């Protein structure tokens, strides 16, 4: 099983790991595309005004330009520890035991904008870049990443994929059509048999689910097996038009 997680706009600063090496991250065949984005971000950061405009930064966020300028030299943290925000606060990876962290490292990729999908334990620096940003000198990130990421996932050949990404990040690397997958949306009952999409609880539920999987480490090898395990663990979900609608905890 492969779990695809979205990144978060908010991140921990600092780190204790060695500077970034794009060829040591998961899916090393993406190193060239990673380098292209990193180089474009570093070059853009030489003009703070232009960088703030391209990245959509407020005056308070201007220090993020310096963060990007240091992408090649900054200390790193494991990706699952780098990100903060609702999903990653619910995952709370720093409190997982060694076996759970190792399991995430083996089964989860976090799909970043500058580095593409990286392993949950891969060391990455802090950065500022969203999926919809257009960088000078590069095509749109969707064009830059999508085909290469899909090819890398094809080569990885997981038995099935649990896709917890947002639509914006799923577009940066669609799951190959030949690999069984489930794209998850988190919903709540709206009455009368209808459901409504969620935002905050969407992220929280996905983080809690990733944590539960890491802690329980279910021995499932098929998409059907995962679905049965989820239901057996008390998760309410329905399949609609090829998507899994997972109900928020307590709904």
Could you tell me the pLDDT band of residue 234, with boundaries at 50, 70 and 90? confident
| Domain limits for position 135 | 2-247
**What average pLDDT does range 213-230 have in this prediction?**
89
Reading the block at residue 60, the tokens are 């308070």
pLDDT tens, position by position, 47-96? 999 999 999 999 999 999 999 999 999 999 999 999 999 999 999 999 99
pLDDT digits (tens, 9 = 90+) for 170-217: 999 999 999 998 888 887 765 555 455 555 688 998 999 999 999 999
The number of domains in the chain is 1
Long-range interactions of 101-104: CB distance < 8 A, separation 24+: 101/214, 103/213, 103/214, 103/217, 104/80, 104/210, 104/214
Q: What is the DSSP letter of 11?
A: B
The length of the chain in residues reads 251
Which of these, 152, 194, 190, 145, lies nearest to 168 by C-alpha position? 145
Q: Phi and psi at residue 17, in whole multiples of 5°?
A: -90, 165
Average pLDDT across the chain, whole number: 92
pLDDT tens, residue by residue, 98-154 = 999 999 999 999 999 999 999 999 999 999 999 999 999 999 999 999 999 999 999
Give the bridge partners for 109, in sequence order: 4, 119
Sign of the Cα pseudo-torsion (72, 88, 61, 144, in order):
positive
Task: Enumerate residues 6+ apart whose C-beta is below 8 A from 168.
Answer: 130, 131, 132
């Amino acid at each position: 099983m492969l779990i695809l997680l979205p990144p978060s706009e908010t991140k921990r600063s600092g780190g204790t790991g060695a500077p970034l090496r794009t060829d040591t991250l998961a899916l090393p065949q993406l190193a060239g595309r990673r380098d292209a984005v990193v180089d474009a971000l570093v070059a853009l950061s030489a003009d703070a005004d232009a960088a703030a405009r391209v990245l959509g930064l407020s005056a308070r966020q201007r220090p993020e330009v310096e963060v990007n300028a240091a992408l090649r030299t900054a200390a790193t943290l494991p990706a699952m520890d780098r990100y903060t925000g609702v999903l990653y606060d619910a995952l709370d990876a720093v409190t997982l035991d060694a076996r759970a962290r190792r399991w995430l490292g083996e089964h989860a990729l976090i799909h970043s904008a500058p580095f593409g999908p990286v392993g949950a334990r891969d060391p990455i620096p802090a950065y500022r870049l969203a999926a919809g940003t257009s960088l000078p000198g590069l095509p749109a990130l969707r064009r830059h990443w999508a085909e290469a990421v899909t090819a890398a996932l094809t080569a990885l050949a997981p038995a099935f994929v649990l896709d917890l990404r947002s639509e914006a990040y799923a577009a940066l690397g669609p799951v190959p059509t030949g690999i069984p997958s489930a794209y998850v949306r988190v919903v709540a009952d709206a009455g009368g048999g209808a459901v409504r999409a969620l935002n905050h609880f969407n992220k929280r539920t996905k983080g809690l689910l990733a944590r539960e999987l890491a802690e329980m480490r279910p021995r499932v090898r098929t998409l059907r097996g995962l679905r049965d395990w989820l239901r057996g663990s008390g998760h309410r979900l329905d399949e609609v038009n090829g998507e899994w609608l997972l109900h928020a905890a307590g709904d």
